[in-house]
Structure 1
Amino acid sequence: MKIEQLYTRGLAEASYYIECNGEAAIIDPLRDPQPYLTLARKNKAKIRFILETHFHADFVSGHQELAEKTGATIVFGPTATPMYKAHVAKDGEILSLGDCSIRVMHTPGHSLESSTYLLIDNNGKDYAIFTGDTLFIDDVGRPDLVQRVKAEMTPDFLAGLLFDSLRNKIIPLADEVLVYPGHGAGSACGRKIGEMTFDTLGRQKQTNFALSQDITRDEFIRRVTENLAEPPAYYPFNILMNATGDIPDLEEVLKKGNRALSSKDFYLQWQAEDAVVIDTRQVADFQRQYIPGSLFIGLCDDFSSWVGNVVKDIRQPILLVTEKGRERESIIHLSRIGYHNIIGYLKEGVKGWSKDGFETAAVPVIGHQQYAGFTVKEPGLVILDLRTECEYKAHHLPQSINMPLESIPHKSGQLQKSRSYLLCCDSGYRATIAYSLLKLDGFQRVTCVEGDLTAVPVL
């Protein structure tokens, strides 16, 4: 028996390859089928099942494309209504996998169809559970995401179902059973997910509040529904894509988006399509020289989540400015979360754009040593700290205002364009995204702080 966790840090998402005696099952695959095909080929195994724990909100599943390439059966748990060929299993149904087996356990709460898959070894012993978004390490899945698609599915109602699922299906399992969740720390599908990517159920019974025998149903519902952050705007679209199967082939998305455009053609497409230009280069490169009107979101572990937070229309035509050789990578990252309408990239980059006579600009940046003098020269200056509320509470400059980056698109209207703004975070990355957003919104007097201003104790 073999279990491999394929962890994607940008989405804090875990998919799984399970193999028993030459037969394999894939749990919650991402868009690109190649990693799963490579594993099966390497191990000379046949992929028989593609198991979906639920209709995902935070990424577009690769289940259909993988099924087409392998002939594997797509499996959902009870109450799922996929609009394509799939097997909707009964609660408790057993799937044979080589000399092992997998039991389908319906565990609604995060969503109505949410299910956990229990892997049973060749001796008939419960070995591991693959919990999707039902149970995380030190946390549980949010019960409010389905409401974005079905208004009648209130968080309180789903939280009650989740409480019952944990009590009736998960807690009775043996302590030595391994827990393999669908997400790790950083995912917006939970609130305070632990740093470990798997654990034993026994340890989770000791550390995870949701599995405590002392917590009441009412207290559980209160804890999992209070103070929930607004989820990224693309989540409802992904749920619908995964349910309807209306997902374009990845190769077609790449073919359409991976087109090199001259500066002139890039400009004409920008104007004709009313596209958003996303610059995925490094912070320093964007700050040194960028195209006015472009949006900075540099490729990094959190790229996908920041795109989802600040580009509200998932159907928006997108043009790319990238580091040379990272065009395909940028497109794949966007397609993972359903941004499929990429129409090309700037062939010669920003330098070519400038050489061809088009306008460029530089981001005004100050270092720590310049900060005190800068603030004195700018009466009425507003310092915006773009980090999360928790980060801000832990350490911040006394005169700064906390405005988490994800709130900028809908809170910038509260800012006065006549004022001057100084943007800071912990690296310059979030500040630079905010800079590009504010410039797009017509703010003129905006400056970024180089690096981590908040690390300076007194200025």
Structure 2
Amino acid sequence: MERISVETLRTWLESGQAVTILDVRPTAAYAAWSIPGSQHLDAYEALKAGQPGGLDQLALPKDRPVVTVCEAGLVSQRAAALLAARGFTAYSLEGGMRAWSLAWNTAPVLPEPGSSRQPEAASTTPEPEQRQVIQIRRTGKGCLSYLISDGAAALVLDPALDPTVYQQQARQCGWQITAVLETHIHADHLSRARALAAACGADLYLPAQRRVSFPFKPIADGQQLTIGRLHLQALHTPGHTPESTCYLLPGPPGRPALLFSGDTLFPEGLGRPDLDADPDEARRRVALLYTSLQRLLSLPDDSLVLAGHSARPLPFDGQPALTTLATVRGWLAPLLASPATFSAQLLSNLPAPPAHYQEIIAANESGEWPTVPPEELEGGANRCAVTL
């Protein structure tokens, strides 16, 4: 039995290498979050007790390696050893799902997937509409960030991964990161915005607020942020947090606008209003969110909604997670029929809060990196959305 790193497995999946991923965690843990395309066998307790848990009878293809997965990478070693004894090339995922929370993949938003146009280096002629966008997905956590460029200068929105990931992606495209931007103060992951801006010598922008204790350039409602030849408009949309802000990137004639909606609006849900808030404050934020959503629904129906999170693990398929505002309107408009209806639906469907969210908020407000490894604070399913 051998162990395999998260980065190696991530590379295998991104390159399309055939591999069987076998998750041996309890059923509830697997249902909460998992690696895209993995198989599941609830063998955790049996393996802990020294029993095979059904692995001795499990039929798996032998023409590809098997990677076993548990929560922290310990019980999965027993599973891999049992499979190796049966003649499989078996590996245990080092660090388990906690470590996998840092895995990532990418998908182009513009140019569109399948288009012959690809992000071009700065030395070539950029596409006529200038906008080029890559969705960078922290698949294990559901965090979505964006690398936005005019073909030369670039901006990173809501970075949730090590700064080197964004620097590498920009370098491959021939882009220079000149700005780093956040939609709000995050509660489910440690912000990498300050570190990325420092590493690139870029400007750091946050929505105007007094929560953070480090220097930044404030963005006010209606303000335009210019990056090269691109102009993003800030739309203050309080509700999930008081400072939550969406950013609108207009399209040229005949092309849709891009709405970077942060944690305010998701394809199938809304940003929860209760984190770090007492009941009275949560109800006040619900009222603010009601007004914010009406503002967003006033935008054109063909606007593409690019949220800050996904409620499901994102596969290595190169397809961006997005929807149109028209699709969102179909399920959201009935909820906005009245403030009372909206409040009742939202507050009655709140999921359990993210683990360690108070420590994460405190770190993001101070700008100080915690002493514990990030995966210990950030692990687990994404719980910033209310699905309605």
TM range (shorter): 0.5 to 0.7
CA distances 1:377-417 after superposition (whole Å, capped 9, x unpaired): xxxxxxxxxxxxxxxxxxxxxxxxxxxxxxxxxxxxxxxxx
The equivalent of 1:232 in structure 2 is: 354
1:131 CA drift (Å)? 0.7
- Which structure 2 residues correspond to residues 42-441 of structure 1 after superposition, within 5 A? 42-121=172-251, 127-147=257-277, 151=278, 154-168=281-295, 170-186=296-312, 197-206=321-330, 208-209=331-332, 211-212=333-334, 215-248=337-370, 333-334=375-376, 337=378
User: Which residue identity does 1:90 align to in structure 2?
Assistant: A
Query: Residues 185 and 365 of structure 2 are in contact (CA less than 8 Å); yes or no, is this contact kept in structure 1?
Result: yes
Contact 2:135/2:320 (<8 A) preserved: no
Q: Give the aligned residue type for 1:236.
A: Q
Q: Which has the higher helix share?
A: 1
Contact 1:101 1:119 in 2 (8 A): yes
Runs (5+) with no aligned partner, structure 2: 1-130, 314-318, 381-388
Q: Residue 3 and residue 203 in structure 1: after superposition, are their counterparts in 2 closer, same or farther (change >3 A)? A: same
The residue number in structure 2 matching 1:19 is: 149
The 3-state SS of whatever aligns with 1:24 is: strand
Contact 1:78 1:106 in 2 (8 A): no
Check conservation: 1:176, 1:200, Cα contact below 8 A: yes
How many corresponding residue pairs?
A: 245
Taking only the aligned residue pairs, the percentage that are identical comes to 31
| Residues in 2 aligned to 1:69 and 1:214: alpha-carbon distance in whole angstroms | 43
- Name the CA distance, whole Å, in 2 between partners of 1:137 and 1:166: 13
1:216 partner amino acid: S
Please report how far the alpha carbon of residue 142 of structure 1 lies from its aligned counterpart in structure 2 after TM superposition: 0.6
The offset of 1:122, in angstroms, is 5.6
- Do 1:107 and 1:116's aligned partners in 2 also have CA atoms closer than 8 Å? yes
Aligned to 2:81: none
Unpaired runs of 5+ residues, structure 1, are: 188-194, 254-314, 316-330, 340-459
Asked if the contact 1:64/1:245 (under 8 Å) is kept, the reply is yes
2:237 and 2:254 mapped to 1: Cα distance?
Answer: 22
Q: Is the 8 A contact 1:238 1:338 kept in 2?
A: no
TM-score by structure 2 length? Answer: 0.59
2:145 and 2:251 map into 1 onto residues whose CA distance is 20
Q: Secondary structure at the match of 2:261?
A: strand
**Matched-pair contact (CA < 8 Å) for 1:63–1:74:** yes
Quick one: distance in 2 between partners of 1:44 and 1:38? 10
Answer whether contact 2:336 2:342 (CA < 8 A) is retained. no
- Which protein has the larger Cα radius of gyration, Structure 1 or Structure 2? 1
1:202 Cα deviation after fit? 1.2
**Residue type matched to 1:11 in 2?**
K
CA RMSD across the alignment? 2.6
Q: Is the 8 A contact 1:137 1:196 kept in 2?
A: no
Q: Which amino acid aligns with 1:241?
A: A
Contact 2:153 2:176 survives alignment (8 Å):
yes
Return closer, same or farther for 1:126/1:113 CA change in 2, 3 Å cut-off: farther
Cα offset, 1:8, TM superposition:
1.5
SS at match of 1:15: strand
Whole-Å Cα distance in 1 between the matches of residues 227 and 253 of structure 2?
13
- Between the aligned partners of 2:194 and 2:242, the Cα distance in structure 1 is 21
Matched with 1:290 is none
Work out whether residues 132 and 151 of structure 2, in 8 Å CA contact, stay in contact via their aligned partners in 1: no
TM (normalized to structure 1)? Answer: 0.50
Match of 1:368 in 2: none
Deviation at 1:230, TM superposition (A): 2.7
Q: Is the 8 A contact 2:246 2:260 kept in 1?
A: yes
User: Matches of 2:132 and 2:259 in 1, distance apart?
Assistant: 14
Q: How many angstroms apart in 2 are the aligned matches of 1:80 and 1:14? A: 25
Paired with 1:124 and 1:65, the residues of 2 have a C-alpha distance of 38
Q: Distance in 2 between matches of 1:96 and 1:212?
A: 36
Task: Give, in angstroms, the shift of residue 152 of structure 1.
Answer: 7.1
Q: Deviations over 1:71-128 (max 9, x none)?
A: 1112112335321111111100001122221001100000001000111246697610
Q: Deviations over 1:162-185 (max 9, x none)?
A: 0000112x0110011100011112
Q: Report how far residue 212 of structure 1 moved.
A: 3.5
